[in-house]
Amino acid sequence: MSLLPTEQLIDRILDHIDNKTTDLGDQVWQEPSSSYLSQERFDAEVNLIRSSPVPFCPSAMLTETGSYVARTAAGTPIVAVRGKDGVVRAFINACRHRGMSVAKGSGCKKAFVCPYHAWTYAMDGSLRGIPGKEGFPGVAMEDNGLVEVGAGEKGGLVYVNQKGTIDDSTLEQFPDFFCSSQEFLEEEAITDEANWKLLSETTMEGYHIKGLHKTTFYPYGLDNINVVENFGRHSRITFPFRRINKLRDIERSERKIEGMVTSVYALFPNVSVSILSKHSTVTIFEPISPTRCTMLIYRVTNKLADGTTVDKRDAKVDADFVKTTGLDEDIEAAVSVQESISAGADFNLTFGLFEKAIVHFHQNFKEKL
Ligand code: FES
Ligand SMILES: [Fe+2]
């Protein structure tokens, strides 16, 4: 993986501050507004998400045997669960009798009992019980387990590939994000009237910090001073806080980056992992329709520069504060763009050299679709 080591990343940020520069891409990209409205394009994207390895939830939500998370992933009901052997598996969350979902939300169970007629499944997906079994002659238990999909775990995240398998080599492309001492804090779901890409694009550039977040994030963060690194189909965008200038007084080899920047990893296609000061977020941009998206946000506690883990209460204070520093403004921007597009405005969205990660994102789509 070609991401800069911390010392060099800090050097590059301080150089940008001194020279009033930022990382630049190598081309301007024009994306037709129809990409954010067309049902055909939407269906192709959903299909691509379903056939890619995509983060599903933090491992910190599945710490115990039998702990599970159930949600839709690109429209498919999926449940991920940690088995007795410690392995996380994922299944289509649909009973093999008549299809009702066997798990809801998150929690910890010994078995999944379908709420409709109580067919019962073990945590490895196998069918273990059919009430009134004599009513189902010829229905073999061994042929009617939950349908398994690809799943794997690396660096604190659980990944799912609905149409393929996941092995260690698949996951090599992803950095390690969280260690086992980082705890699950909370989850949140926000549904917005905007194409999922418009919402995701707000997280991928720092060119709008002063414009959109003048009184919220800009008092703490620098405008249009970013390090943008593309790796594989993914990107890492580093947003420095003003306080990073304090590092100038510290010996280069002793500098710690924790708390000095927000690191946003845009994981292709539809997930963003942000490492903030005292907590981190995993945001899934779950496409609902061409003009509607649910952002599923999972929050976990952070590890600090001294190696200790942030207390949950402190992480919660940090999370509540971050919610006031621009999330609503980002959503408002995406919704406003969608309103123009949905009203029939036919134009190209222009992404410039400062929006390098978004250009990379669209290039990937062009290649893949
Ligand atoms: S649908 Fe699940 S038991 Fe009938
Ligand atoms: Fe923003």
pLDDT digits (tens, 9 = 90+) for 30-66: 999 999 999 999 999 999 999 999 999 999 999 999 9
Ligand closest to CA 131: 1
Q: What is the structure's pLDDT at 116? A: 98
With a CB cutoff of 8 Å and minimum separation 6, the contacts of 159 are 53, 54, 55, 56, 151, 152, 153, 166, 170, 171, 174
Q: What is the DSSP pairing of strand 127-129 with strand 106-108? A: unpaired
Closest protein CA for atom 3 of ligand 1:
117
Is the shortest distance between the CB of 179 and ligand 1 below 6 Å?
Answer: no
Ramachandran category for residue 156: left, alpha or beta (phi over 0 → left; psi -120 to 50 → alpha): left
Q: What is the structure's pLDDT at 24? A: 98
Ligand closest to CA 101: 1
Ligand closest to CA 203: 2
Q: Which amino acid is at 227?
A: V
For the chain, give the percent of residues with pLDDT over 70: 100
Is the shortest distance between the CB of 95 and ligand 1 below 6 Å?
Answer: yes
Between the CA of 218 and the centroid of ligand 2 the distance, in Å, is 10
Closest protein CA for atom 4 of ligand 1:
117
Closest protein CA for atom 1 of ligand 1:
98
SS3 for 107? strand
- Residue-wise DSSP of 320-369: HHHIIIIIHHHHHHHHHHHHHHHTT---EEEE-GGGHHHHHHHHHHHHH-
With a CB cutoff of 8 Å and minimum separation 6, the contacts of 208 are 202, 333
Give CA separation, 67 vs 77, 81, 183, in Å: 17, 6, 14
Between the CA of 133 and the centroid of ligand 1 the distance, in Å, is 13
Atom of ligand 1 minimally distant from the CA of 95? 2
Atom of ligand 1 minimally distant from the CA of 98? 1
Between the CA of 120 and the centroid of ligand 1 the distance, in Å, is 9
Q: What is the structure's pLDDT at 307? A: 87
93, 77 in Cβ contact below 8 A?
yes
Q: What pLDDT, in 10s, does the model give residues 102-133?
A: 999 999 999 999 999 999 999 999 999 999 99
**Rounded Cα gap, residues 194 and 198, in angstroms:** 7
With a CB cutoff of 8 Å and minimum separation 6, the contacts of 76 are 50, 92, 162
Q: What pLDDT, in 10s, does the model give residues 163-196?
A: 999 999 999 999 999 999 999 999 999 999 999 9
**Rounded Cα gap, residues 71 and 56, in angstroms:** 9
Is the shortest distance between the CB of 100 and ligand 1 below 6 Å?
Answer: yes
